């Protein structure tokens, strides 16, 4: 990886941390549990890496097996996280 | 699809995730936010599947089906009282997924890593690995599968420090020879054991902090994976989750007036035995009352503040609580709820339970918004809360919770405490509130006590 790419990556990381902190500070305490389950759901974005690892070659290998396990874990987060967040948010009424 | 188009879709996904969090700023818009976030995730997964040269679709589909069945089943079946356990497990899954992706990359066909990629892969594996086992431990503590009291032994911190040191040494070895399988698995084993050993000395009272911290770690692991794979969607999303977890960690620590280091290393919540020996425990008599006595007080109240704690969740008493609140509200009593930030076992736990029981969220007040009102209130009803209403936090400098912001319930005319038994709270200390003259204790299961109260009041 060339240094330019690394610096761009780090820049994105730092800016996203600050932007995230600003957004999250505005979430009221009453929604902190859905915030956590919602974060679980989006951390399932690791599924992108898991898909690429599982399908990296035509033949089955230890790498595709590791990727397969990662797909399962990440999907649990995505599906479970979004569904339980939705279930909770539907309960909040005026 | 070309790489550029794929990256543009990833940017769209990251934007939708950010909007999802932005819309969480109000319960009115939160559902829309969750939907946008879902669309972002679907787009990211969909576009990844069009990556040129991707194989193994059968395996991928099987994996997605298995994950969907497990995740969907858990999401539909989990009781709202068990959300802390659920989030703990999800944190663990997130850590595991990142660690596995890093491992796959490590064992992949490309073995020529530059040092930046190598460092981020290692960090992803170590942080993800310890998040996985640490979360399983947190889950076991929350479920009472292992003791909720801190598990300590001599030299504990020395051993943990040594593990960190050995991990670093092994990492530097792997740095010189990335193909060394033995060192690779050594690092994996150490990071997994570190997760276990770091969480067992932490008591049940501090699990809300640990869940937040592990939430943050799971995000950090995703970011590290993003660096290694040079994928901006992972970098951005990971930093969002990391920031969220660390902010919640800070809120929880502040609400207990403790530093994160103190939470992690002090084995808080060991039963304090010296109190009895020195005779410095609370003095006075506990006054246990009958349902009828308590009902009379409630029937004559003009204002009521309900203070729920973990005991309400444990007794599944949220619906019975709302019934009592609704009945008294109909009789013209001003009913409000006071929620301490660390009531329950995760941030916002009480709010979700009361929302489940159809309590309107406008009736819920945070500590700083309601604490001045206790003085002018007729009755406070404490349901299964203990440490968050302990006046020792204000009056007793030798108390472990001294300095923690607490709800000033004792300033009300009458305090009614629903409690299962006289056992100490999470912090392992006595509560002098229970011995005060204006306190009425009603012992028993919170749910059946509340149901009896409602029945008596309606007569």
Q: What is the pLDDT of residues A58-78, one digit of tens each?
A: 888 999 999 999 999 999 999
pLDDT at B425 over 70: no
Report, as an integer, the average pLDDT of B264-275. Answer: 66
Tell me how many residue pairs between chain A and chain B have CB atoms under 8 A apart.
Answer: 363
Q: Is the pLDDT of residue B278 over 50?
A: no
**B339 contacts A63? CB cut-off 8 A:** no
Residues 6+ apart with CB under 8 A from B354: B308, B318, B321, B322, B337, B364
pLDDT tops 70 at residue B130: yes
Residue B201, helix vs strand vs coil: coil
**For the residues B87-110, what does the mean pLDDT come to?**
94
> 7-66 in A: which are within 8 Å (CB) of B?
9, 12-13, 16-17, 19-21, 23-58, 60, 62-64, 66
Cα end-to-end span (Å), chain B: 71
CB-CB neighbours of B155 under 10 Å: 9
Residues 6+ apart with CB under 8 A from B66: A72, A75
Residues 6+ apart with CB under 8 A from B90: A37, A40, A76, A77, A80, A81
User: Catalytic positions of B, please?
Assistant: 387
Residues linked to residue B380 through DSSP beta bridges, in sequence order: B305, B415
In which residue are the tokens 């663990």 written? B92
Contacts of A52 (CB under 8 A, 6+ apart): A67, B48, B51, B54, B229
DSSP helix/strand/coil, B171: helix
- What pLDDT was estimated at residue B281? 54
Residue A42 C-alpha, separation from nearest chain B C-alpha, in angstroms? 7
CB within 8 Å: B101 and A53: yes
**CATH number corresponding to B284-458:** 3.40.50.1220
Best mutation site among A1, A19, A48 for testing chain B: the one with the most B CBs within 10 Å? A48
Query: What is the CB neighbour count within 10 angstroms for residue B153?
Result: 8
The answer to whether the beta carbons of residues B233 and A45 sit under 8 Å apart is yes
C-beta of residue B183 within 8 angstroms of C-beta of residue B214: no
pLDDT of residue B1: 64
pLDDT on residue B274: 43
* H/E run at residue B168: helix B156-176
d(CA B64, CA A74): 9
3-state secondary structure at position B272:
coil
Can you tell me the mean pLDDT for B221-232? 96
The per-residue pLDDT for range B296-317, each reduced to its tens digit, is: 999 999 999 999 999 999 999 9
Q: C-alpha B227: how far from its chain's center?
A: 28
């Amino acid at each position: 990886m060339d240094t330019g790419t690394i610096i761009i990556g780090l820049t994105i990381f730092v800016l996203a941390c600050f932007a995230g902190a600003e957004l999250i500070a505005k979430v009221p305490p009453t929604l902190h549990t859905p915030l956590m389950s919602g974060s679980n759901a989006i951390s399932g974005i690791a599924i992108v890496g898991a898909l690429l690892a599982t399908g990296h070659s035509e033949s089955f290998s230890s790498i595709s097996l590791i990727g397969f396990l990662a797909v399962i874990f990440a999907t649990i987060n995505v599906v479970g996280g979004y569904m339980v967040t939705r279930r909770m948010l539907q309960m909040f009424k005026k | 699809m070309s790489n550029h188009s794929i990256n543009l879709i990833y940017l769209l996904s990251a934007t939708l995730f950010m909007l999802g969090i932005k819309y969480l700023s109000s319960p009115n818009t939160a559902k829309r936010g969750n939907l946008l976030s879902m669309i972002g995730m679907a787009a990211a997964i969909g576009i990844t599947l069009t990556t040129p040269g991707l194989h193994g679709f059968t395996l991928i589909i099987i994996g997605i089906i298995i994950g969907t069945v497990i995740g969907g089943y858990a999401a539909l079946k989990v009781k709202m009282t068990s959300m802390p356990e659920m989030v703990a497990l999800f944190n663990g899954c997130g850590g595991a997924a990142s660690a596995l992706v890093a491992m796959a990359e490590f064992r992949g066909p490309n073995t020529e890593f530059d040092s930046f990629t190598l460092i981020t892969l290692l960090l992803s594996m170590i942080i993800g690995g310890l998040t996985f086992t640490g979360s399983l431990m947190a889950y076991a503590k929350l479920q009472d599968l292992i003791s909720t009291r801190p598990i300590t032994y001599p030299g504990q911190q020395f051993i943990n420090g040594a593990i960190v040191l050995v991990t670093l040494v092994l990492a530097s070895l792997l740095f010189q020879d990335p193909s060394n399988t033995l060192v690779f698995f050594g690092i994996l084993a150490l990071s997994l054991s570190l997760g276990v050993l770091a969480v067992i000395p932490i008591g049940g009272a501090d699990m809300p902090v640990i869940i937040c911290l592990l939430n943050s770690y799971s995000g950090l692991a995703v970011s590290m994976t993003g660096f290694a794979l040079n994928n901006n969607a992972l970098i951005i999303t990971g930093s969002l989750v990391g920031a969220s977890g660390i902010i919640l960690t800070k809120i929880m620590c502040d609400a207990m007036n403790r530093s994160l280091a103190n939470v992690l290393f002090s084995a808080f919540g060991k039963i304090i035995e010296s109190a009895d020996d020195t005779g410095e425990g609370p003095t006075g008599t506990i006054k246990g009352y009958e349902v009828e006595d308590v009902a009379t007080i409630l029937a004559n109240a003009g204002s009521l503040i309900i203070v729920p704690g973990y005991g309400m969740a444990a007794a599944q008493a949220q619906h019975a609580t709302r019934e009592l609140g609704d009945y008294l509200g109909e009789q013209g009593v001003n009913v409000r709820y006071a929620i301490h930030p660390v009531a329950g076992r995760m941030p916002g736990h009480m709010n979700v339970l009361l929302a489940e029981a159809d309590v309107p969220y406008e009736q819920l007040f945070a500590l700083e918004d309601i604490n001045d009102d206790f003085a002018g209130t007729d009755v406070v009803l404490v349901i299964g809360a203990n440490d968050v209403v302990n006046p020792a936090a204000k009056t007793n400098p030798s108390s472990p919770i001294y300095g923690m912001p607490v709800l000033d319930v004792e300033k009300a005319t009458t305090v009614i405490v629903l409690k299962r038994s006289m056992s100490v709270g999470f912090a392992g200390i006595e509560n002098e509130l229970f011995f005060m003259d204006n306190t009425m204790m009603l012992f028993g299961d919170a749910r059946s006590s509340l149901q009896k109260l409602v029945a008596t009041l309606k007569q």
